[in-house]
Every structure is written in C-alpha cells, then in structure tokens.
Structure 1
Amino acid sequence: MNFKNYWVFLGLIAGLLFGIATPFSKLLLADLNSFQLSGLLYLGSGIVIIPSIIKNFNNFYKAKNVVKDENTSKKSFLEVKFDKNFIKILLIILFGGILGPLFLMIGLSHNSASSTAVWLNMELVATAILGLIFFKDNLDKFASIGLLLTFIAGLIVSWGNGFGDIFSIIFIILACFSWGLDNQLTSIVDGYSPEFITFVKGIFGGGVNLTIGMIIASQMISLNLIFYGIILGLVSYGLSIVFFVSSAQNLGATRSQILFATAPFWGIMFSIFIGEPLTFNLIIAIILLIVAVLITNNIVHNHKHYHNKVEHLHLHSHDDGHHVHKHDSNDFEIYKDKNKKHTHTHVHNEKYHEHNHFPDLHHKHDH
C-alpha cells in the first residue's frame, strides 16, 4: 500500500468507527442526558491516548516515534507552545470536543438514529463551505463532483427515511458546522501530534460536558452506563479521531472529510445486521458515495506553487519530495528506508516547484 492509499484507508476506517456510534448512542440516551453522554464519549476518546503518554514518560515514545534531525532540536509531543497553533488547539477543543458532540446528542435525542446518520452528511458540506471561505481549500471540478454526489446520496437516503423534526435537524447541522471548523483547524495545525490533539479534545471537552451533565442530572450515573459510554467513545471517537487527524493532515480537510462522510452509511449498514431492511434507496446512495470517494481521492491538481520556509512537527516520510532533511545513521531504519513513517520537528526551506498535490498541510496556497 503506497503512502497516499494509506491515508485514504485511514480516512475510511475513521468513518466506519464513527458511523457505528449513532445507533449505540441512541440506545444510551434512554438513560443519559445529552451532556453526560457527549462527555463520556469524548472522555473515552482521550483515554485511547493514555498508553502513548505512559510510553512517553518512560522514553519509549521518543525512542520509537520521535527522532532527531540535524536542523532542529528534539521536542516532546506534549510540549505546549503559546502561539497561533495553541489558539487553534483551544478552538478545536471548543468546537470539536464540546459543542460538536453536545449538539449532536441533543439532535439525536429528538430524532431517530437512521435519520440522524443521514443528516451527518452535512458535515462534509460544512467542511467544504468553511474551507472555500476561510481556509484556502481548492475545490476543483473533481472534488466538486465528489461533494455533490455525496450530498445527493444523503438526500436519497433521507427521501426514504424522512427528515425528522426541524428542532433536531437544526442541532445536527450545528454539530456538523462545529466539526467542520474542527476539521479545517485540524488539517492546518502543526507542532502537535494527532495523539495530542485527540487527548486534549477528549479530556477537556469531555470533562466540561460531563461536569455540566452531572450538575443538571437528578441522579448519579450507573457504573455500567459509564463503562458503555467510555468504551463507545474510545472506539468511535478516540481511534476514529486519531485516524481522521492523520488523514486530514495528509489529504486536506475536504478530501479526508469525504472519506469520513461514509460514517452515516456505515451506521445505516450496521443497522441492517440488526434487522433493518436494505432498501433500494440505500443501495443507490451507497453506489453514489463509492463513486464520490474514488473520484475525489484519485484526481489531484498540478501547477507551479511556492513554499515559504517553515519549521513544524507532524507525521511524515521521505518519499514525497518535500521532506529532504537528513537523519544521522543512529536512526538506522529511517536512514535506510525513505518510506518509514516518523514524527519530529523539522525544517522546510523555501521552494518553488510543480507537481500533483492535494490541499494538505504543505499546500494551503492561493489559486
């Protein structure tokens, strides 16, 4: 599997894990309020990262994943820098970790799981709109076709399942725009690893919502509900977010979001295994979505563009024409294998060139 297909695969898996959260969350909302469940889900997502933190404190994380290069000093993935990227992290926590899940749980509590899953397709549209207006995303004709097909697929499924009441739809759309902003900020933040972003969004966002939920609740949460909520969050929000962050930083927010937009369909498909019918509308919608994913992720644009000198930290390899910094022979695996994925702070010098590219972390230029 080449590096680009690897990010596409991660984006699809992120969508799968997130998609199965909707039907299970609907079941848990019978006994939990929206604040409590959104808090438990995101606390679970933060717990996923605890093993990496433990390894870091024992120097295993640094030894395996963070390496030195000749141009920069070694930095921990937990190091905090109070700069513009730190502000982005705060906004990611607010919109992605607090408001997004809370709005979704409010909408889901007043709507069916299948209808909610359908309306989650609006996250793709929200991400694209925000990208075009604020984040210099290039939405070429192929990406536009993929976006349109994905939205049409959602409408086709909605035609069969109904649109729910307007109150719940408004909150689901608010959740989608909150996560759309989260997606765009995630794709351009650097200096922080996907694990760090997931951890702070889960622990702080989940902690705020759970605290509010406990204050307004009339009774304590049972231990089994706490367990189910955290496990669901661990899988559907923790692993899913880590995979999506990695995909977004390498494919761009809109394209990775098209992959992640398969989540509602995974949720509906999962419902088939528990007895719901496989309708003609659903079959057509899934076909359209598959076509959208293939078109968007196999067509890139090509033009001359300029890179400013920058120093940042993210997951990368040395086979993409941008990461040409050197490693010493002590980092033997990376020294010998250009395809080896690793994370450390590194420098990009000024460069003007032409090649096929996505609007990823290195290609947020004007068109």
Structure 2
Amino acid sequence: MFAVISATLFGMGTPFAKMLIEDIEPVVLAGLLYAGAFLGLSAYSGLSRLVRSGHRKVASLDKGDAPWLAGATVSGGIVAPICLMTGLTFATGFTASLLLNLEGLATALIAYIFFRENLGWRLGVAVVCMTVSGLLLSWDPSTGVMSVSGPLLLLMAGIAWGVDNNLTRHISCKDPVQIAQVKGLVAGAASLSIALALGFGVPVDLVLVMALALGAVSYGASLVFFIQALQGMGASRTGAFFSFGPFVGAALSVVLLDEWLG
C-alpha cells in the first residue's frame, strides 16, 4: 500500500511540473521541488510533535549512514530531478510520465546486479517491453524522425532514481521523515545554488508557491511512503509497484494538459 501511495503522489508531479516549466528554468524548478519537500516535512514534524502524546521510537540517522545518504541525495535529489525537468522541455507530460517507468526497471536491475535481490523471468519481459516502449515514445509522428533529447534525459533520470532507490534501501530502517528532510534540504540547496551560479533567477510570485507545494506532496510525502515500502518489500519489489505511478501521470497529462504521444 505504501508503494502505491508513493507512486501515485510522485506520478502526479510530472504533469504539474510540465505546467510550471513554461515559467521557470528546469534547474530552478528542481531545486524548489526539493526545497518544498524539506519545508513540508519540517512543518509536518513540528505539528506531529505538538499533537503526539507519546513518542514513537524510530531510529535516527548516524554517521554510518552518511555514504548511503550522500549517494542517494546526489543521484536522486540532484541529478535525477534536473534531468527530468530539463527533459520536460523536450517532451510532453504524457510521454515523460510513461518513460519514467524506466525508474522501476532501473531499480530492479540494479538491485539484481549489484545487491543480489531475487528476480524472475518477468524482468526479461519487462526489459523488452520498456525498450520497445521507449523507442515508440521517442518517435515524433509529425516529422517521422526519432526525438532523442527528451527520452535520453528521462532515461538518465530513471537510472539516477534507480541508484537512489537502491542506496536508500540500506538506510530504510531509519526515520523516513528525517531521511526525506535531509535529502530535501541538501538537494534543494545544491540545485538552487547551481541555478544561481548559472545566472537563473528564482521567481517570487505564485509560481514559487506552487513549486514548493508540489515538492512537499510529490517529492516529500512520496519519499516518506517510498522508504516505508522499502522497509517491508526491498528495492526490486517496491520498484515494480512504483511503476504504477507513471500511468497516473500519463492519465493526468491527458486530462489537465490535453496531451497524447508526441
């Protein structure tokens, strides 16, 4: 259930990000999304302490978790969202949502190859299906040629999040809210620093509020539920369930953006 909730919240983020990307630079949006995740979870943590009568014992992060958390933050908090937001400038929200199925595939493959998680024959079928799907989604029927830039960036985002998911699995027994807060703070600050160094400005209007709110839901809350799913199912199975999310994003792209293939 946690995996499905996480996938749904994350999948919703792609079409809404596509709506925002017209008014904001991709790197800036990537930073604001994770800054929103940090702010949203910080508010949640503060409120939960006020209303909670007893303290639930949850293991906190320690120094031994630093390498796993650092790797997950760089790959999933900085590289992946920048690739996704940049890819959205070349692809529709519908296409981008479906291509993000590659995250689940990358998660399962990395778990199998590097961490020896058990996988069956279904993985081979998934590899073939996702490869064919990626080629089909890269085809631009209006020009009759293969569009590479968008799908390539989305592929990189999926692989980076696959790395993130497998690294996060090693610290999934720790407080998921704390993990998401740290990732949000560091990733948000890093991406915004990159954006400012490149000369991009941060909006101070409604776009800023919308980006932070989207980040709190689709990247903050989603990550907490994802980590909870990792605790019980492992990376490969959670990644498989997470493949539900892109279809949510594709459906919303049709409804909200009136998009289809292309």
TM-score (structure 1 length as normaliser)? 0.63
> Deviation digits for residues 18-76 of structure 1, max 9, x if unmatched?
11111111121112111100001111112232135426876948x2311xxxxxxxxx7
CA displacement at 1:247 relative to structure 2: 0.8
Q: How does 1:88-107 map to 2 (within 5 A)?
A: 88-107=68-87
Cα distance change, pair 58–252 in 1 and its aligned pair in 2 (3 A): same
The residue that corresponds to 1:19 in the other structure is: 11
The yes-or-no answer on 1:184 pairing with 2:173 is no
> Deviation digits for residues 193-213 of structure 1, max 9, x if unmatched?
111111111111011101221
The yes-or-no answer on 1:209 pairing with 2:191 is yes
Q: Which has the higher contact order (CA 8 A, sep 6+)?
A: 2
Q: Retained in 2: the 8 A contact 1:115–1:161?
A: no
Q: Distance in 2 between matches of 1:278 and 1:94?
A: 32
Q: Distance in 2 between matches of 1:263 and 1:161?
A: 24
> Deviation digits for residues 78-120 of structure 1, max 9, x if unmatched?
x44222x221011111111111111111111122211111211
Matched residue count: 258
The residue that corresponds to 1:126 in the other structure is: 106
- Considering only CA atoms, is the larger Rg found in Structure 1 or Structure 2? 1
Q: Distance in 1 between matches of 2:205 and 2:189?
A: 17
Identify which of 256, 269, 272 aligns with 2:251. 269
Identify which of 209, 220, 226 aligns with 1:227. 209
Cα distance change, pair 148–191 in 1 and its aligned pair in 2 (3 A): closer
> Deviation digits for residues 168-192 of structure 1, max 9, x if unmatched?
2221111111100111112222552
CA displacement at 1:155 relative to structure 2: 5.3
Cα distance change, pair 239–59 in 1 and its aligned pair in 2 (3 A): closer
- Identity in percent: 27
The yes-or-no answer on 1:65 pairing with 2:56 is yes
Q: Retained in 2: the 8 A contact 1:114–1:161?
A: no
Q: How does 1:306-321 map to 2 (within 5 A)?
A: none
Q: Distance in 1 between matches of 2:138 and 2:151?
A: 15
The residue that corresponds to 1:31 in the other structure is: 23
Q: Which runs of 5+ in 2 are unaligned?
A: none
CA displacement at 1:222 relative to structure 2: 2.4
- Aligned residue for 2:55, secondary structure, equals helix
Q: How does 1:1-367 map to 2 (within 5 A)?
A: 9-54=1-46, 60=52, 63-66=54-57, 77=59, 79-83=60-64, 85-141=65-121, 143-144=122-123, 147=126, 151=130, 154=133, 158=137, 165-190=147-172, 192-274=174-256, 276=258
Higher helix share: 2
Higher strand share: 1
Deviates more, 1:116-125 or 1:48-57: 48-57
Q: Retained in 2: the 8 A contact 1:130–1:180?
A: yes
Q: Which runs of 5+ in 1 are unaligned?
A: 1-8, 67-75, 280-367
Where does structure 1 differ by over 6 angstroms across 4 or more consecutive aligned residues?
A: 56-59, 159-164
The RMSD of aligned alpha carbons is 2.9
Letter in 2 for 1:91: G
Cα distance change, pair 235–53 in 1 and its aligned pair in 2 (3 A): closer
Q: Distance in 1 between matches of 2:194 and 2:131?
A: 38
- Aligned residue for 1:252, secondary structure, equals helix
Q: Retained in 1: the 8 A contact 2:95–2:250?
A: no
CA displacement at 1:152 relative to structure 2: 7.6
Q: Distance in 1 between matches of 2:207 and 2:213?
A: 10
